[in-house]
Amino acid sequence: MDLERAFDTLGLAAGASEQDVESAYRRLCDDFDARIGRVTSLALRDRYAAARAELEGARAAALQAAHRRRAAPRGTVDGPVSRAWAVLGLAAEASPLEVASAYIALCEELDRELASASTEALRRRCLEARAEIDGAYQHCAATPLASESTGAGSGSAGYETHVARAAFEAPAPEPPAPAPVPIRIAADPDPAPRRPRRRRPLRRFIAATAILLFASGGILGYLSWTDPEWLYSLKRYLPLPPDPELVEAQTGAEYLRRRVAEERRDIERRAELASERVARLQTEVSPEGESPPEERGRAEGVLEQAQTRTALAKHLFELTERHIFSSSALAEAYGHMELGTELVSAGETDRATSAYSEARANLEATLASLDDAEAALGARYEAIDARDAWSALAASAGLEPGDAVLQGGQRLVEADGLLDAGSFTAAIPELRRASLHFRTALDEGRRELAARREALEAERENEDARAEVERLAREASQREGSDVASLPPVSASERAEVKLVTVPAGTFLYGCNGIVDRQCPPSEPAGQRAEVAAFRIDRTEVRVSEFRSCVDSGACDPPAADSGCNWETPGRGDHPVNCIDWDQAAGYCSWVGKRLPTEQEWEKAARGTDGRTYPWGNEGASCDVAVMSSGAGGGCGESSTAPVGSRDSGRSPYGLFDMAGNVLEWTGTLHESGGEARVLRGGSWQNDASAVRSSHREGALPSLRHESVGFRCAQGAVVAETRAR
């Protein structure tokens, strides 16, 4: 810390004694300690602490300076006098004229230094040097003048003495060898003769600038009056701030141009990645016979999904490349941007702003067209999905296409024509109308299937009534010993035709679908594509009344009649038969010319080919779609099974009832290779939502008879059973 700042910090004048320094230091320390203890602001307390620390450095610097002054030896009379001659650059006892000449030269030099000083500190140093020169002049000029006065008198003084007295007003002669007294400028009784003449460069600069500005304004005014075009061209070279409207239009157009370029790269990259993925999956699919059927089916399913996505990405890329990125609107937008750049260089701000605004409008229209293209393709694939769903229903139920299907197909053809022509906005409503027609046809087909089911139910009731009449007649003839012969029984082929649904051949997703199911239990195989040949399966579970016909004919043993069993329970004739073991179920299916379905056949009939979680879709299970355990209790609060086909909205894609809930169903597949347990599927009225999923499987010994177990039959081709993993 410098001495000047140290004394200013202590509040003392330069040159204070050690006692003054110590006294000021203690007083300030007490004051700062009191302030630090009093304030509550952390910021103010930190600043007081910093000032308190600064006192330490100020005290040390001031004490060191005072100690140096006290320890320095006092100079003799000759010491200050010698210093004075040295300051003026003269030898001792020089003439008054030499003293005056040296003094004037030094004063002129100090005036120049003072005028060129850039800081207040330098000016202060120059003034201190001037004060020392003034003191030296007084010391050096006093001695010869005094000797002349004491010698020959004032009248006989030489020329040099008169010049010195007239020019500088030297002080009156003093006794010989007076003690020199340093004089400060502030204490000089008459500082006017020693004050340097200051120059005023700032004022001169200001005056010259004002004159120059005035002259420039006059010239510009004259030019604007006589030649305004020349003045307008001059404005292009002036560093003026940019026009806000031009900046907004230019930046907006550039941002949209980059967005269009990014969208184009993204669409192209999606198409390339999809094609690369399909090529990679095609190399991974092993030829037939080189890999297990499960792995091959899973790989083919993944390949099929990838091919669908590739077709969508390529279609989008082709349409946008043909109708958007190669359009005249986009070319005009780029042309307007180039024109705007040239106009900005030429200084035509208004026209440049207009050009950028037009480019911005064209780019916004291009981005809107891209959004319409993606929306149109999405609507197209929704319509195709609806059409495929109706086709699957029609194939399974033998439905004929109606007006809704024909209108949907016509709308789809017209929409494809609009897409090929690049009319994306006009194609979207056409595609949505096509989807609506196909969904209407799908609903009509489901209602027709429901009507068929009711008709079959009525026919079945009539058959049950006839069978009951035949049974009573046989019993009566046996009791009375009558020789009247009973009516011939219905053949197995005739019984098998009742309520069968055809499931077409093809692959489906077998096992837990990890995409839609959050957790896949270890008892279920991981999702994989499996091949199943065409077969037929019962639309409903086997009823108590149906099984009674087999028992009455003597071909089947009656089920258990324990608590919870539907057999021999009044009012349960249309409920599914339960409390029946595997052999009884297989025997009934054989009696009607059918068999138990395999596990893979059952799952395909339950969930279709899209890998859904439940027969009705991926929405959660409830009592509206399945007879299950709920908050009201088992059997949706009834503590028992429900009549078959009571949940119309829970049907599978092929129109099968109760593939989730009501009773677990026996299949013909072994639960584990080499074991005796058989697979049960579908969940029951005692299970929650997790057990009524289409991929849920359980195993039970063939001898099991339980109130939650029933069955349905199948007919047709049989594929090799898949080993559970």
Domain assignment of residue 574, yes or no: yes
Domain assignment of residue 233, yes or no: yes
Backbone angles phi, psi at 646, to 5 degrees: -80, -15
Q: Are residues 614 and 681 in the same domain?
A: yes
Cβ 363 vs Cβ 329: under 8 Å: no
User: How would you label 214-223 residue by residue, b for 16+ Cβ within 10 Å and e otherwise?
Assistant: eeeeeeeeee
Domain assignment of residue 101, yes or no: yes
Q: Looking at residue 484, what is its pLDDT? A: 31
* Count: domains in the chain: 5
Residue 676 three-state SS:
coil
Residue 59 three-state SS:
helix
Considering just the CA atoms, what is the radius of gyration of the chain in Å? Answer: 56
H or E segment to which residue 420 belongs:
helix 403-421
Domain assignment of residue 472, yes or no: no
Q: Are residues 526 and 380 in the same domain?
A: no
Domain assignment of residue 285, yes or no: yes
Q: Scanning the structure block, which residue is given the tokens 């003054």?
A: 20
* CATH, residue 579: 3.90.1580.10
Q: Are residues 27 and 156 in the same domain?
A: no
143, 147, 180, 597 from 161: Cα distances, Å: 11, 11, 21, 145
136, 463, 496, 578 from 491: Cα distances, Å: 150, 13, 9, 25
> 480-512, pLDDT tens digit by residue?
443 333 334 444 444 445 578 999 999 999 999
Q: Are residues 523 and 634 in the same domain?
A: yes
* Distance between CA atoms of residues 174 and 142, nearest Å: 8
Q: How many helices (H) and strands (E) does the chain have?
A: 19, 9
Q: Looking at residue 532, what is its pLDDT? A: 93
The residue out of 128, 161, 177 marking a domain boundary is: 177
* Distance between CA atoms of residues 627 and 664, nearest Å: 11
Domain assignment of residue 477, yes or no: no
Q: Are residues 359 and 269 in the same domain?
A: yes
Q: Are residues 566 and 711 in the same domain?
A: yes
Domain assignment of residue 202, yes or no: no
The closest alpha carbon to 653, from 413, 392, 329, belongs to 392
The closest alpha carbon to 297, from 522, 525, 519, 537, belongs to 525
Q: Looking at residue 424, what is its pLDDT? A: 87
The residue out of 402, 430, 452 marking a domain boundary is: 452
Domain assignment of residue 462, yes or no: no
3-state helix/strand/coil string of 538-591: ECCCCEHHHHHHHHHCCCCCCCCCCCCCCCCCCCCCCCECCCCCHHHHHHHHHH
| Domain ranges, residue 43 | 3-71
Residue percentage of the chain with pLDDT more than 90? 24
Q: What is the mean pLDDT of residues 679-697?
A: 93
Q: Are residues 673 and 551 in the same domain?
A: yes
Q: What is the mean pLDDT of residues 301-317?
A: 79
The closest alpha carbon to 668, from 659, 677, 660, belongs to 677
Q: Are residues 544 and 684 in the same domain?
A: yes
Q: Cβ neighbours of residue 633 under 8 Å, at least 6 residues apart? A: 639
Q: What is the mean pLDDT of residues 374-380?
A: 86
Q: Are residues 404 and 277 in the same domain?
A: yes
Q: Looking at residue 169, what is its pLDDT? A: 42
* Distance between CA atoms of residues 121 and 37, nearest Å: 38
Q: Are residues 559 and 606 in the same domain?
A: yes
| pLDDT band at residue 152 using 50, 70 and 90 as cut-offs | very low
Higher pLDDT, 367 or 221: 367
Q: Are residues 444 and 499 in the same domain?
A: no
Q: Are residues 580 and 498 in the same domain?
A: yes
Higher pLDDT, 552 or 54: 552
The residue out of 50, 71, 92 marking a domain boundary is: 71
